[in-house]
Amino acid sequence: MTNDEVMRIAMAQQAIDCGCEPEDFTRAENAVFISKKNSEARRYLKNLPFFFDLVFYGANVVASVDERIADFVEDFINSRKPYSCFDADGIYLLNAEFAKYGKKIKFLAEYWLPDMNLLSALPCAYETRILTQLDFAELYLPQWGNALCADRAERDVLGVGAYDNGQLIALAGCSADCGGMWQIGIDVLPEYRRQGIAAALTSRLAVEIAARGKVPFYCCAWANLGSARNAVKSGFRPAWAEMTAADIEENV
């Protein structure tokens, strides 16, 4: 799998999620689409159809929105540079308008894809094991809340654990969130952090995912510098930014 193929798969999935075409993410001009449900969308997107979702791959901005705010959003994204749509002052403007509908910005993150020219399994100082769904049953615990998700346990398909004298000390897991892409999450017990374990497990799991013909992807909040550093060390590179609105009282 090449980097071009990885990006093509990611944009194809994003187009399903946003109700547009893959080439819409590389156009010179911004675009607004009315959001619709799609059974092939990323399965954790419980807010489909979106009230507001903004995606930036580095060229233009693509918005997938409720038709009631389509004109407002079009004016908003065309009145500033694409990356500036994600700045704090823009979020304030969006929230002021969205409050009329009981909505506000709830999710702002950077997504990462592997650099297939660099991706390789990094060494780990501890024993590592490949884990499957059958191994996860007893692991739905708070300390593994990034690697596994009890609410979507049926999608937790593969993992890599690190062990110290037989005790699980770190866990990377992936969720089959859509047909061609599996999302990685990582947890390391506090006393074992800063030893390179996170990158070792993340990179190993990414290699295992790619070997199964799927695209590994990684997500973190913009301010989560530790997670971003882990992504870079593990062979991932920034791919797109995404911002989503939800009900004011809803946890995304």
* Full DSSP string of 71-90: HHHHHHHTTS-GGGGGSHHH
Q: CB neighbours (10 Å) of residue 47? A: 19
Q: What pLDDT digit, counting tens, does each position of 155-172 carry?
A: 999 999 999 999 999 999
Provide the greatest CA pair distance for the chain. 60
Cα torsion through 1, 233, 113, 139, rounded to 10? 100
Name the token pair of 176: 């089959």
pLDDT of residue 186: 97
pLDDT of residue 45: 78
Q: What pLDDT digit, counting tens, does each position of 1-54 carry?
A: 999 999 999 999 999 999 999 999 999 999 999 999 988 888 777 777 999 999
Q: What pLDDT digit, counting tens, does each position of 97-138 carry?
A: 999 999 999 999 999 999 999 999 999 999 999 999 999 999
pLDDT of residue 46: 73
Relative orientation angle of helices 197-211 and 225-233, to the nearest 10 degrees: 60
Distance of alpha carbon 113 from alpha carbon 78, whole angstroms: 27
User: pLDDT band at residue 251, thresholds of 50, 70 and 90?
Assistant: low
Rounded to 5 degrees, what are φ and ψ at 210? -60, -35
Please say whether the beta carbons of 84 and 241 come within 8 A. Answer: no
User: pLDDT band at residue 250, thresholds of 50, 70 and 90?
Assistant: low
Query: Closest by alpha carbon to 121, among 38, 226, 229, 235?
Result: 235
Q: Which residues pair with 170 in a beta bridge?
A: 162, 188
Residue showing tokens 């996860």: 136
DSSP string, 231-246: HHHTTEEEEEEEEEEE
Q: CB neighbours (10 Å) of residue 211? A: 9
Contacts of residue 194, Cβ cutoff 8 Å, sequence gap at least 6: none
Distance of alpha carbon 230 from alpha carbon 213, whole angstroms: 23
pLDDT of residue 166: 96
Q: What pLDDT digit, counting tens, does each position of 176-219 carry?
A: 988 899 999 999 999 999 999 999 999 999 999 999 999 999 99
